[in-house]
Structure 1
Amino acid sequence: MEITIQRRLMAEFIGTFWLVFGGCGAAVFSAAFPQLGIGFLGVSFAFGLTVLTMAYAVGHISGGHFNPAVTLGLWAAGRCHNGHVVPYIIAQVVGGLVAAAALWAIASGKPDWIPGGFASNGYDALSPGKYSMAACFLAELILTFIFLMIITGTTSKGAAVGFAGIPIGLALTLIHLISIPITNTSVNPARSTAPALFAGGEYVSQLWLFWVAPIAGALIAGLVARVLYEHPDR
C-alpha cells in the first residue's frame, strides 16, 4: 500500500498523542498518588517507552518523528521532504493537544484533583529546581542536539537495521533523568505546548523557550549529521 501523506499524518498524530498521553499522564497521575512511588525515574521511563513503542508501531509509516524539533532536525539533515515539514508539525501539535485534553478530562474526574502545572515545562520560578532561563535554554539546546544525533546516527547507513527504536527510546529516558529537575524536560515543542495551554498563565508565556531551544539544537544536529553520517538512501 502506498504511504500517502494522510497515512503519514495519522501516524504522527497517533505517535505524538501517545507520547503526551503516556509521558505527561505518568507525571500527572503519579503526582496525584505519590504513594505509588514511580517518581521522576518512572516518568522518565514512561516517556522513553512511548517513543520506543510508537517507533515500532507507526515509525515505518511516517518515520516516527512525534516532535516538531525532530522533524526540523531531520529536514536540516536532508532526511525529511520539504512538503512534509509543516503538515507533520501541525499533526504533532494537534495530537499533543488532544492527548492533553484527554488527560485533563480523566484527571479532573478525581474530586480533589489540583492541576498545578499539569506536567508543563518552565524556567526560573516554574523550573522544578528553580534553574535560570539561561540554564534551561542551554540544557534544552544541548539535550535536543544529542537526541537528534542519536536519531540520525541510529538511522544512518551502516547502523544496525531494525533496532533504532531501542536506543532512541532509551535516549529519551536518559534525557528525562538529566533534565526533569531543570525544565521538567521538553526537547519537544508539541509536548510542551499541549499541557501548557491547559495550565495557562505563566506556563504559556514561557512556551517560547521550549520551541526555540529544542529547534535550535535540532537544526544544529541536522547540519552536523550531513557531514558525519552517510544518508541511508545513498
Structure 2
Amino acid sequence: MTLLVPAPESVGVQPPAVGDASPRPGLIARLSAEALGTLIVVVAGLGVPLFTIPQSNPLPAALAAGLALTAAMLAVGYVSGGHFNPAVTIGNVIAGRIRLAAAAAYIGAQLVGAALGAVALFGVLRTVPTINDSTGAFATVAAGFGEHSIIQVPMAGVLLVEVLGTALLVAVFLATTASRNPARAAAPFAVGLTTAMLLQLGQALGNVPFNPARATASAIFSGPDALGQLWLFWVAPVVGAAIAGLAFRGFAQGAQTAKTTDPAGAAFTPAESNDADLAGSDLDDFDAADLDDAELTGARLTGARRCGAADDADKGAPAGRSGKAKAAAAENDEARSFFDRNGGK
C-alpha cells in the first residue's frame, strides 16, 4: 500500500494555485472559510477570558487565542488563505496579493463570523444564573482606552501599541506565507505564536486585540462606551497593516530588481527570478489577462510561469522564458545581425 504525503506547499495557508490539478475554491467557499475561521478566533479569544476562573484555568487567555488561530489556519486556511482578520486582509491588498473587491468581501465575511461568535458567547453568558449583568460581564473583554483600560492607558498609548502590534503581526503573516519562504508550511504556527505574544501585551493595556473583527465582536454587547471607542481599534490596525504591506511590497520589488538585473545591467532569465510571493494567494480567479491590469509587485504567478513554459515549449523556445525575455532576445539577435552587416561600424 502506498502512503500519499502532501507536498509542503499544500500545507498551511496556501490555496491551490492556478494550473494545479485541484480546482481553485470558489469565492463562496473562501468567504465561508473566512467566516468560520474568524468565528473560531472570536469564540476562543473572547470566551476563554470571559469564563476564566483563575484557580481552574492554567492556560492563559492569550495563548488560547493564539492556538485557536493556528488551528483555524490549519483547518481552513488552505481554502481562503487564512486571514481571519481585516488588518491581515488589508495588508495583503497593499502588498498586491488580493484584489480590492475580494478583500472587501473577505472583511464582510470576517465580520459575520465575529458577530456570530459574539452572539453565541452572549447567549451562553445569559444562561449563567450567577451573572445578573450580562452586558457588564461582556464589557470586561471589550477593547478600550482611558478609563476603560485596565491600567488607565490613554488613547495615544493604546493607539501606538495597536499600530505597532498590528504591523508586526501582518509582517509575520506576509513573510511566512511568501512563496520564496521555505518554511511557509509553518506559517500557522508563526502567526499564532505572534498573536499570543501580542495579546499578552494587549490584555495588560486594555484588551487590545490587533484584530478589528474581534474588537467589533467584543463591543457589540458591551454597551455604548465600548462602541464609542471602537473607531480606534479599526483606524490603528489599518495604519499598522498599511505600514507592513508597503514595507513588504518594497522588499519584494527590491528582490525583483536584484534578481533580474546584474551590476552590468544584463537581464537574467525569468527562471532565475522568483518575484511572485503569490502562489496560493487570495486573488480571485487570477489569469494571464490580469497581469496587464494588476502589477502585483511585478510578479508572475507560479501557474503563469508554468503556462509560459508550456507556450515556449510549443514554439521551440527554451522552457520558462517569458514573452518579454523572448522579445529582448529577438532584439539582441537583430542588433548582432546589424553589426555583422555593417562591419561593427
TM-score range, shorter-chain basis? Answer: over 0.9
The CA distance in 2 between the partners of 1:197 and 1:218, in whole Å, is 24
Query: Is 2:98 aligned against 1:74?
Result: no
User: Which of these two proteins has the greater Rg computed from alpha carbons?
Assistant: 2
- The runs of at least 4 consecutive aligned structure 1 residues that moved more than 6 Å come to none
The CA distance in 1 between the partners of 2:94 and 2:232, in whole Å, is 20
Query: Is 2:173 aligned against 1:151?
Result: yes
TM-score, normalised to structure 2's length?
0.64
The CA distance in 2 between the partners of 1:37 and 1:155, in whole Å, is 33
CA displacement at 1:37 relative to structure 2: 4.3
Secondary structure in 1 aligned to 2:239?
Answer: helix
The CA distance in 1 between the partners of 2:168 and 2:204, in whole Å, is 18
Query: Is 2:84 aligned against 1:60?
Result: no
**Structure 1 regions of 5+ residues with no counterpart?**
none
Percent of paired sites with the same residue: 37
Out of 186-195 and 105-114, give the one that drifted further.
Answer: 105-114
CA displacement at 1:155 relative to structure 2: 1.1
- 2:194 corresponds in structure 1 to 171
Write 1 or 2 for the structure with the bigger share of helix.
1
2:55 to 35, 43, 53: 35
CA displacement at 1:105 relative to structure 2: 0.7
Query: What amino acid does structure 2 have at the position aligned with 1:157?
Result: S
1:161 to 184, 198, 221: 184
Deviation string, structure 1 residues 90-126 (Cα, Å, up to 9, x no partner)? 1101110110000011122111124321411000011
1:17 to 14, 18, 39: 39
Query: What amino acid does structure 2 have at the position aligned with 1:129?
Result: I
CA displacement at 1:200 relative to structure 2: 1.4
Out of 177-186 and 219-228, give the one that drifted further.
Answer: 177-186
The CA distance in 2 between the partners of 1:187 and 1:166, in whole Å, is 17
Cα pair 1:118 1:198 within 8 Å, conserved: no
- 2:143 corresponds in structure 1 to 121
How many residue pairs are counted as aligned between the two chains?
230
CA displacement at 1:35 relative to structure 2: 2.6
Query: Is 2:184 aligned against 1:139?
Result: no
The CA distance in 1 between the partners of 2:188 and 2:24, in whole Å, is 23
- When the two chains are superposed, the root-mean-square deviation of aligned CA atoms in Å is 1.4
CA displacement at 1:34 relative to structure 2: 3.3
**Structure 2 regions of 5+ residues with no counterpart?**
1-22, 253-274, 279-299, 301-345
- 1:104 corresponds in structure 2 to 122
The CA distance in 1 between the partners of 2:96 and 2:205, in whole Å, is 32
| RCO higher in structure (CA 8 A, sep ≥6) | 1
The CA distance in 2 between the partners of 1:77 and 1:101, in whole Å, is 33
Query: Is 2:26 aligned against 1:4?
Result: yes
Cα pair 2:50 2:140 within 8 Å, conserved: yes
Query: Is 2:203 aligned against 1:183?
Result: no
Out of 73-82 and 132-141, give the one that drifted further.
Answer: 73-82
CA displacement at 1:158 relative to structure 2: 2.7
